[in-house]
Structure 1
């Protein structure tokens, strides 16, 4: 069961990458930091990633850009694996490779622009939108790990945001929060413009039905989506498309057991294991 979740941490077809090379090259995130712990837990990654998307789809400009310019609707599994691979690269990848990938994404985003249904112009490289996307990702992964895998202190939550500053700057998210307090301020400032939509309902339907996990584990897929709704902050959690779709009685305990089991299970030859091998191979290490 956990191996199926761990498979989502692996690069998608055509994007194979050896995180163990080049020997000794550091990552954008510190190897002794909180992020390396968070991103090694596949349950926290799945739950946190869904929470981040729920928050992103509640912002009108981000929602339109994501829905109109991504492959999520027709191939959600591949899209999720590509997004997961990008996250793995920013945390575990050698700095040179991470910078190259981010540069590629920024160039692609340069072509993503348009108008929301109400006529508001948007551009994917708008720093305001990038700040929100990076903030929601940092919140989602951090809060999922905190709620389901291992309690994090306020200082550790601050560190999780601060450790993402280098990658955020490279993406162009120059105002992305660097602490929990800055995240709370951004959420409060953004909250009046957050809204529900048919797209949010479509996302929930796709996440419940898509072939992300094998058929025998589809119950687990739906459980983890409900776990993501449960930690989504207000006012988004109370939107009509999410109301009543959080965890049921006793399910939080099950998700915690799964996340803590994942922390104890062998990771296999996944990016965090390869990255640790890369740093251990540094001259004089």
Structure 2
């Protein structure tokens, strides 16, 4: 029998089509990013490894969003200047496409996208409910977004992709991703795991949860009829992301996860991750 016509191959192709559809909007003429030998990172980079695993990036992405929304100014920028309440899937897709482009796309394309994001951020300004002004291009806010993304992506990769990842390779990941953070105007920028953890600890006194962060968390966790999690068991993906959150962040969000559930959640998420790797192999 022709291997290309086997039932397993049909399943693999179906999974691939659905996942590709999640990250690319045909109405906008989007197609998957082509991996370039002239990207910001080379093929042997840690970033190529971490960002190439769909399942762990999805889980890490949810975790990073939940952490980001605990900063009042980051939350305000999203609340005041985006349509996330009507199109959460679109927002997640754009974030995923930014990561894919800056990781794998041609250098010139990545640099243009970074500049475009900086230009958009120039117009994202406003006031917090207490009257404190904010601006999206504030280096400290950009640093918070960067450090929550990188720590969450890496944590998900270590848990579901490479549990024995060396400390040196983990530090190398942060050193590589500093290129993107600096280009976006973030400061301070971590170049090791310990530096990233130190920045998070320094930011913790500024973090809080309120009615607006609860609403964003509800939208992220409950999803909708059209969500970037459509091809993962949604509840499992959300639980895996909640499990990945630092305990203090779970407490701020009021999220609970009984310890006896964690082995089941992790086993299920690992199974989904292995299925997606099989489909894209």
Given the alignment, which residue of 202, 224, 227 partners 2:215? Answer: 202
Structure 1 match to 2:89? 77
Shift of 1:213: 4.5
Q: Is 1:86 equivalent to 2:95 in the alignment? A: no
Given the alignment, which residue of 175, 178, 187 partners 2:200? Answer: 187
Q: Is the 8 A contact 1:226 1:247 kept in 2?
A: no
Q: Is 1:154 equivalent to 2:167 in the alignment? A: yes
Structure 1 match to 2:41? 29
CA deviation profile, 1:216-245 (whole Å, cap 9, x unmatched): x58711211111111111421212432348
Task: Work out the CA distance in 2 between the residues paired with 1:79 and 1:148.
Answer: 24
**RMSD (CA atoms):** 2.5
Secondary structure at 1:222's aligned position in 2? Answer: helix
Task: Work out the CA distance in 1 between the residues paired with 2:24 and 2:260.
Answer: 28
The more displaced of 110-119 and 258-267 is 258-267
Q: Is 1:229 equivalent to 2:229 in the alignment? A: no
Query: Given the superposition, is the C-alpha separation of residues 191 and 97 from structure 1 closer, same or farther in structure 2, using an over 3 Å criterion?
Result: same
TM-score by length of 2: 0.85
Shift of 1:214: 9.0
Q: Is the 8 A contact 1:223 1:247 kept in 2?
A: no
Structure 2 match to 1:259? 273
Query: Given the superposition, is the C-alpha separation of residues 265 and 144 from structure 1 closer, same or farther in structure 2, using an over 3 Å criterion?
Result: same
Given the alignment, which residue of 168, 175, 178 partners 2:181? Answer: 168
Q: Is 1:126 equivalent to 2:138 in the alignment? A: yes
Aligned length: 264
Query: Given the superposition, is the C-alpha separation of residues 235 and 43 from structure 1 closer, same or farther in structure 2, using an over 3 Å criterion?
Result: same
Q: Is the 8 A contact 2:22 2:228 kept in 1?
A: no
Q: How does 1:33-44 map onto structure 2 within 5 Å?
A: 33-44=45-56
Structure 2 segments unaligned to the other structure (5+ residues): 1-13
Task: Work out the CA distance in 2 between the residues paired with 1:12 and 1:109.
Answer: 26
Q: Is the 8 A contact 1:162 1:179 kept in 2?
A: yes
TM-score by length of 1: 0.84
Query: Given the superposition, is the C-alpha separation of residues 223 and 195 from structure 1 closer, same or farther in structure 2, using an over 3 Å criterion?
Result: same
Structure 2 match to 1:277? none
Specify which structure has the bigger relative contact order, considering alpha-carbon pairs within 8 angstroms and separated by 6 or more residues: 1
Structure 1 segments unaligned to the other structure (5+ residues): 268-285
Query: Given the superposition, is the C-alpha separation of residues 193 and 69 from structure 1 closer, same or farther in structure 2, using an over 3 Å criterion?
Result: same
Structure 1 match to 2:79? 67
Q: Is 1:7 equivalent to 2:43 in the alignment? A: no
Task: Work out the CA distance in 2 between the residues paired with 1:63 and 1:258.
Answer: 31
Shift of 1:11: 5.2
Secondary structure at 1:265's aligned position in 2? Answer: helix
Task: Work out the CA distance in 2 between the residues paired with 1:12 and 1:80.
Answer: 16
Structure 2 match to 1:115? 127
Task: Work out the CA distance in 1 between the residues paired with 2:261 and 2:168.
Answer: 31
